[in-house]
Amino acid sequence: MGHKKVCFNCKKAFSLGTDFSVKHSSTCPECGQQTSVLQHSFRPPSRDDIKAWKVVKFLKDSGFIYQHIYKDISKKNGVVSYENYADYPTTMDQAKDFVLKYKDQAADVSKIN
């Protein structure tokens, strides 16, 4: 289990493992295009599932790199409580709703490959 280097051109994901001291290239080993790093919970769709890859790219471009997204964030007595992970969407309509609903939990897109 580890982060994934994802090539949207080849529609492939490469595991980066868990040794974070190893420097990895930011280009795809097959086509040479720029890759993106997604969190360990990302499970790549099959290469021929074009619609699913478009959803993944839309989510990544919107700041959702398969990090934990919480359904409920509440504050009680000064303590923030994070509850219930939200499931990542599988269709574009679901993805658009997801991005709007959880936009405050998106990662900074300018820092994402």
Instruction: With a cut of 90, say whether residue 51 has pLDDT above it.
Output: yes
User: How high is the mean pLDDT of the chain?
Assistant: 88
Using 50, 70 and 90 to split pLDDT, how confident is the model at 78? confident
Which one is predicted more confidently, 80 or 33? 33
Domain ranges of the chain: 3-107
Residue 30 has what pLDDT? 92
Instruction: Return the pLDDT at 4.
Output: 92
CB atoms within 10 A of CB 102: 16
- Report residue 4: phi and psi, to 5°: -120, 135
- Cα–Cα distance measured from residue 20 to residue 3, given in angstroms and rounded to the nearest whole number: 10
